[in-house]
Amino acid sequence: MPIDPTLPYDDDNIFARILRGEIPCQKVYEDDWAFAFEDINPQAKVHTLVIPKGRYVSWDDFSARASDAEIVGFVRAVGEVARRKGLVEPGYRLLANIGAHAGQEVPHLHVHIFGGEPLGPMIWKR
């Protein structure tokens, strides 16, 4: 069920619980600004999620409210995770779903990193 990205942050969302260590995950990377773990239902050979440590519902919320330091830290972390995964030379795809039309399911900003194989067309066509 897609979430409403205009609602206030919910501290009980599943990624908040992963950040607090209440739910296990396959951790890939962590620094002061970001945390990365493997997607539980991978849609490509590599499917890793990167989330900011701050309380942001979506990319919309993050881009509007996050500090410059949080934005820099998060963007650098996404790049670092992709480099550590060896994805730069073969290439990879970033995706952030925001709200109903994109099918966002978890109300904590997450950037999907897809790679490890050719990824096909950019978007589903009718």
Catalytic residue, chosen from 47, 101, 108, 110, is 110
Residue whose CB is less far from ligand AMP, 25 or 81: 25
Residue whose CB is less far from ligand AMP, 48 or 70: 48
Query: Is 110 assigned a catalytic role?
Result: yes
The answer for residues whose C-beta is within 8 angstroms of residue 65's C-beta and 6 or more apart is 56
- The distance of closest approach from Cβ of residue 68 to ligand AMP in the complex, given in angstroms and rounded to an integer, is 25
How far is the CA of 22 from the CAs of 28, 66, 97, in angstroms? 17, 25, 24
Distance of alpha carbon 78 from alpha carbon 112, whole angstroms: 9
Contacts with ligand AMP by CB under 6 A lie at 14, 23, 25, 37, 39-41, 49, 97, 103-106
Give the residue numbers marked as catalytic.
110
